[in-house]
């Protein structure tokens, strides 16, 4: 009991055992305080570290690059994230230099940045981003291509010789007598119907090519006998075969083949995807198209009609339901030659009859174009006798329509193709 009590006494007499123990404990504590490492030695990665005296003895002070750990690095939290007044906010990931993926809902409400595509308010009426497909830049290139092709057509028609407009000689062709339509194609849903037949969506079995299959009763179609094309065949088939002789026109639907049956015949054509007829496309765009899109449509239609004229073919039924438009690229295809016919040699036909054919085509083009841009059929004012335009249009478009619907002088295809409205850019 005396020994245990002596260890805890704060004071002791010199020479006693308790005194000796007290001296040893005091020296040990003082040595530990002297050997305590400095702040620089113990600060590693921004934290203090306590070392035992044995490890610190003789250890040099290491002065290296200071690295920050996860506690000392700036990482924003919900309470430290900086926000900025206005429509933009600094996201948490922007502080640390990373991009943040936004949901479509956030992007719709976020205003556009400079240097990017136009805002929806700047897009012309009747023309949207989905219709434009790959953007205004590609649309401008396509327009330049069409204007170049139109200029080449005009130069060709100004030539005194007819060598440039000669029709190439076709190879004799007939229907596919060896195989049936069902053996080569899958016939799908009905996609169109008219007075001369029904049109179905189809797929070619060997390669999955989308096609359109038009079935026409033999009683409804007129037959012609053209030895150069293969002899006796339906007139519509002969017209499409004549137009498909290379070089073919990309603005006319491509003819693939046809099948003859006891009660009906089938015409297989290309089926562009995605596409709509021009009538339904204008409805989707709000009932009318912008002048820019209407310009692209007219340029392609004029090139298709020039090709028909060079091959001696008259379409006979120009209107918006007989034009397919690819909704992504705005490329147009002229379809349905059921009302078409072959142009005869002018030396066997009077000039008055030729004028009637041309005038009918021009009136069809003009009425369709007016309806596409204005959303209504053309109507003349009772007071002034001039055309009424229900919406704001350019002066060049008004001049083109006034000249197309003139009761005295009408325009030709060449004059429409060279009109200033088609040269105007938006």
Question: pLDDT at position 168, please?
Answer: 60
Dig out the tokens for 215 from the structure. Answer: 């079935």
Rounded mean pLDDT of the chain?
Answer: 74
The larger pLDDT score, comparing residue 115 to residue 236, is at: 236
Q: List, for residues 356-386, the tens digit of each pLDDT value.
A: 777 889 999 999 999 999 999 999 888 888 8
**Residue tagged 């003819």 (tokens):** 255
pLDDT at 384: 82
Q: Tell the burial category of 356 from Cβ atoms under 10 Å away from its Cβ (0-12, 13-18, 19+).
A: exposed
What amino acid positions are annotated as catalytic residues? 317
What are the tokens at 75?
Answer: 């990482």
Average pLDDT (64-79) is 45
Q: How far apart are CA 77 and CA 245, in angstroms?
A: 70
Phi/psi of residue 225, nearest 5 degrees: -120, 105
42 token code pair: 């113990």
- What whole-number distance in Å separates Cα of residue 137 and Cα of residue 149? 19
Does the pLDDT of residue 67 top 80, yes or no?
no
Q: Which helix (H) or strand (E) holds 63?
A: none
Burial class of residue 374, CB neighbours in 10 A (0-12, 13-18, 19+): buried
Give the three-state DSSP class for 267: strand
pLDDT in tens, 169-212: 565 455 666 678 999 999 999 998 877 789 999 999 999 999 99
pLDDT at 333 over 50: yes
Q: Is the pLDDT of residue 76 over 50?
A: no
Domains of the chain: 135-165+274-423 (1.10.510.10), 181-270 (3.30.200.20)
Name the residue with tokens 């309470």.
79
Q: What angle do CA 263, 314, 163 make, to 5 degrees?
A: 125
- Nearest-5° angle of CA 162, CA 164, CA 166? 70
Give the model confidence (pLDDT) of 248-304 as tens digits: 999 999 999 999 988 899 999 999 999 999 999 999 999 999 999 999 999 999 999
pLDDT tops 60 at residue 335: yes
pLDDT at residue 92 greater than cutoff 70: no
Greater confidence, 63 or 328? 328
């Amino acid at each position: 009991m005396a020994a245990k009590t002596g260890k805890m006494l704060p004071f002791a007499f010199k020479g006693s055992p308790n005194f000796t123990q007290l001296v040893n404990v005091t020296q040990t504590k003082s040595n530990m305080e002297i050997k305590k490492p400095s702040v620089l030695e113990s600060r590693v990665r921004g934290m203090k570290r306590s070392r035992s005296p044995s490890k610190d003895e003789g250890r040099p002070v290491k002065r290296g690059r200071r690295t920050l750990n996860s506690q000392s690095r700036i990482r924003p939290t919900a309470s430290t994230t900086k926000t900025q007044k206005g429509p933009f906010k600094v996201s948490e990931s922007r502080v640390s230099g990373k991009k943040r993926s936004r949901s479509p809902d956030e992007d719709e409400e976020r205003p556009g940045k400079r240097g990017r595509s136009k805002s929806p308010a700047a897009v012309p009426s009747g023309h949207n981003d989905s219709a434009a497909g790959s953007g205004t830049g590609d649309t401008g290139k396509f327009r330049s291509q069409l204007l170049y092709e139109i200029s080449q057509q005009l130069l060709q028609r100004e030539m005194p010789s007819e060598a440039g407009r000669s029709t190439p000689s076709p190879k004799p062709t007939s229907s596919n007598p060896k195989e049936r339509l069902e053996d080569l194609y899958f016939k799908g849903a009905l996609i169109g119907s008219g007075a001369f037949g029904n049109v179905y969506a189809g797929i070619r079995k060997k390669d999955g090519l989308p096609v359109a299959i038009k079935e026409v009763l033999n009683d409804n179609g007129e037959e012609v006998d053209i030895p150069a094309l293969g002899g006796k065949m339906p007139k519509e088939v002969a017209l499409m075969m004549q137009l498909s002789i290379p070089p073919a026109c990309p603005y006319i639907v491509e003819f693939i083949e046809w099948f003859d049956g006891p009660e009906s015949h089938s015409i297989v054509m290309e089926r562009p995807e995605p596409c709509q007829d021009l009538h339904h496309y204008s409805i989707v765009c709000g009932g009318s198209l912008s002048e820019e899109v209407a310009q692209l449509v007219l340029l392609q239609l004029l090139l298709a009609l020039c090709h028909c004229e060079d091959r001696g073919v008259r379409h006979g039924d120009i209107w918006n339901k007989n034009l397919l438009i690819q909704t992504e690229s705005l490329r147009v295809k002229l379809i349905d030659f059921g009302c078409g016919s072959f142009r005869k040699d002018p030396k066997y036909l009077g000039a008055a009859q030729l004028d009637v054919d041309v005038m009918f085509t021009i009136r069809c083009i003009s009425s369709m174009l007016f309806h596409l841009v204005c959303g209504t059929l053309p109507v003349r004012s009772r007071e002034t006798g001039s055309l009424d335009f229900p919406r704001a249009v350019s002066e060049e478009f008004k001049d083109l329509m006034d000249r197309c619907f003139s009761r005295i002088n009408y325009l030709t295809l060449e004059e429409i193709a060279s009109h200033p409205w088609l040269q105007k850019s938006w």
